[in-house]
Chains A and B, each alone.
Chain A
Amino acid sequence: MNKAEKSLYEIREMDDLAAGDSPVHRLWPLSKFFVTIAYIITVMSFHKYDLNGLFVYVLYPVVMFQLSGVPVRTFFRKMRIVLPLVIAVGVFNPVFDRDILLYVGKVGVSGGVVSMVTLILKGVFALMASFILVATTPIDDLCAALRMIRVPAVIVSLLLLTYRYIGVLTEEVAIMTNAYHLRAPGQKGIHISAWGSFLGQLLLRSMDRANELYASMQLRGFQGNFYYREGKKARFADILFLVLMIAVFVFLRFFPLAAWIGKLVVR
């Protein structure tokens, strides 16, 4: 497989994950959507030294991964490109912020180190939560859900078409890269002299395909409005999940559970 084929495979792998079945998959898409947003907002709102408070939030993604059957391994494999960036964001904090904040045994830990870890955890947690959402909710369901809360049709269609167009584009890249390498064996990547024509071709070919796909939609009565699969109706459990999770996130945000447990144990 060349690189493009691999990314294509990965896009489809997400589709396959999302098509699976588990209690998490069965949740109402909007509950998941809002819980994810609430989670990300609360996680982001922690103070940069509040590692203690933040740490319990690992529970949400961990439990969701467990319940959904989505392998955590898959998350790290797919995020291997983004994760270093997230980690890089906080990497200079220890250099700038050297005041000792706390002692672990006899070793002093500077504020910079604590804030670096906090920042990294915030990023990783947010990524994990978003990943769980996408990996357990088919894109069409998500779009249908967005329509249900009156997000304009144009925006939702755009989202859906973009998602599909990425597939088309990647497929063309895969075909062309293969064709190139068959005639330039042993060469790594695509020689810079060929980039111009490669990109031009790619644009033309994917435009041709996009045109045909659009024709296919028009010929089948498309008038600018997707009729999404009947949006799933919320069950009691879905509402409960929504309300309960948001309550828990807010509660943990203002009542530092970890510190209390710590105190209890120490007493």
Chain B
Amino acid sequence: MIRFENVSVQYDKSEPVLKDLSFHIQKGEKVGLIGANGAGKTTLMNALLGLLPHEGTIEVEGIEVEKQNLPEIRKRLGFVFQNSDNQMFMPTVYEDMSFAPLNYGHSKEQVDRMIDDVLEQLELSELKYRHNHRISGGEKRMAAIATILVMRPHVILMDEPTASLDPYNRRKVIDVMRSFDRTMLVTSHDLDMIVDTCQRVILLSRGRIVADGKTDVILHDKALLEANRMELPFRWSGNRE
């Protein structure tokens, strides 16, 4: 489904930010990409989306991420930005949601039906005609997820989806993520969220993969996490109150 083979990425002439990464993600897998700030999580996503040049090979469903394939690649990938304000640019939730399907040539009637389906599924119907700048942070994150789901992507990519959400909205986003029946790659340092949503974890440190395996195993490894500037998920840390 997604294949990275000896991938390196660098900004400018400086040291590469991603160094010689290789991994596969199978269809239907839900993978957490974790690592401290600056580890290169966002950079990896951007390379996968073809927003940054890379060395090595990246493939999505057998199609190589290259300039001439980008429209095909991007149709398959739905990316939820870390900052929803930078993702949504149309005046209302409805118009933002119609942006992608209209670009992909769906008719107005089809688009309306697709939008209503997604809004119903996420229980967001009352947001439909609201203005993007008039909804709360939590609602905005949910709306951003809706604008991606309406594209019916094969893979969902999320960059820190629970960052800056209150517990209630964080829980809502996690529930939605659990309900996805698609391949998913999520970056975060909210390790409790990763435990709830992903079966597999890839641990990134200074642009290298330092661990790749079952969530249960890696996120129980206190020494490994602390060596990479992270802490055990709260539920496994033993300090229950």
Check: B6 CB closer than 8 A to any chain A CB: no
Query: Using an 8 Å CB-CB cutoff, how does the interface string of B61-88 with A read, 1 for contact, 0 for none?
Result: 0000000000100110101010101111
Contact of B103 among A19, A164, A220 (CB under 8 A): A220
- Closest chain B residue to A16 by CB distance? B131
What residues of B have a CB within 8 angstroms of the CB of A88 in the complex?
A: none
A164, A220, A229 interface centre (most CB from chain B within 10 Å): A220
Q: How far is the CA of A223 from the CA of B86 in the complex (A)?
A: 19
Q: Does A2 contact B (CB under 8 A)?
A: no
Q: Which residue of the partner chain B has the closest CB to A11? A: B133
Instruction: Assess whether B74 is in contact with A218, with CB atoms less than 8 Å apart.
Output: yes
Stretch of A40-48, A91-99, A207-215 lying at the B interface: A207-215
User: Which chain B positions have C-beta within 8 A of A216?
Assistant: 81, 86-89
Give B147's nearest chain A residue, CB to CB. A220
Question: Could you list 28 A-B pairs, sorted by A, with CB under 8 Å?
Answer: A12-B131, A12-B133, A138-B91, A139-B91, A209-B85, A209-B86, A213-B86, A213-B87, A215-B49, A215-B51, A216-B86, A216-B88, A218-B51, A219-B51, A219-B74, A219-B77, A219-B79, A220-B99, A221-B74, A221-B75, A221-B100, A221-B103, A222-B103, A223-B71, A223-B103, A227-B98, A227-B102, A227-B103
A221 touches B86 (CB 8 A): no
Separation of A71 and B40 alpha carbons in the complex (Å) = 52
B118 smallest CB distance to A (angstroms) = 14
Output the nearest chain A residue to B87 by Cβ-Cβ distance.
A216
A164 pairs with B89, CB closer than 8 A:
yes
Q: How far is the CA of A219 from the CA of B89 in the complex (A)?
A: 13
A238 within 8 A of B: no
Q: Which residues of chain A are within 8 angstroms of B102 by Cβ–Cβ distance?
A: 227
- Give complex CA distance A209, B133 in Å: 16
Residues of the B chain whose Cβ atoms lie less than 8 Å from the Cβ of A229: 95, 98
Report the interface size for chain B: residues with CB under 8 A from the other chain. Answer: 28
A5 contacts partner chain B, Cβ-Cβ < 8 Å: no
Cβ contacts under 8 Å, B95 to chain A: 140, 229
Assess whether B108 is interfacial by the CB under 8 Å rule. yes
Query: Does A15 contact B91, Cβ atoms closer than 8 Å?
Result: yes
Q: Complex Cα distance A216/B78, Å?
A: 10
Q: Taking the complex as formed, is B168 at the interface, i.e. its CB lies under 8 A from any CB of chain A? A: no
Assembly CA distance A164 to B95 (angstroms): 14
For window 190-231 of A, CB contacts with B under 8 Å fall at 209, 212-213, 215-223, 227, 229-230
How many angstroms between the C-alpha atoms of A227 and B77 in the bound complex?
21
Number of A-B contacts (CB under 8 A): 61
Q: Is the beta-carbon distance between A15 and B108 smaller than 8 angstroms? A: no
Any chain A CB within 8 A of the CB of B58? no
Q: Footprint of B on A, CB under 8 Å? A: 12, 15-16, 19, 138-140, 164, 209, 212-213, 215-223, 227, 229-230
Distance, CA A12 to CA B83, complexed state (A):
20
Nearest B residue (CB) for A171: B85
Which B residues are in CB contact (< 8 Å) with A213? 86-87, 89
Nearest-CB distance from A144 to chain B (Å)? 11
The chain B residue with its CB closest to the CB of A211 is B86
CB contacts (< 8 Å) of B131 on chain A: these are 12, 15-16, 19
CA A16 – CA B86 in complex, angstroms? 21
Chain A hits for B49, CB < 8 A:
215, 219
Residues of B within 8 A of A212 (CB): 81, 83, 86-87
> Chain B: which residue is nearest A222 at the CB level?
B103
Residue B143 is within 8 A (CB to CB) of chain A in the complex? no
Instruction: Flag if A221 contacts B104 (CB, 8 Å).
Output: yes
B201: interface (CB < 8 Å): no
User: In this assembly, does B203 line the interface, its C-beta being within 8 Å of a C-beta of chain A?
Assistant: no
Chain B residues with CB under 8 Å of A12's CB are 131, 133
Is B18 an interface residue when CB atoms closer than 8 A count as contact? no
B 197-208 binary contact with A (CB < 8 Å = 1; else 0):
000000000000
User: Which 7 A-B pairs give the minimum distances between C-beta atoms?
Assistant: A221-B103, A220-B100, A227-B102, A212-B86, A216-B87, A213-B89, A221-B104
A101 to chain B, nearest CB (A): 50
| B8 smallest CB distance to A (angstroms) | 21
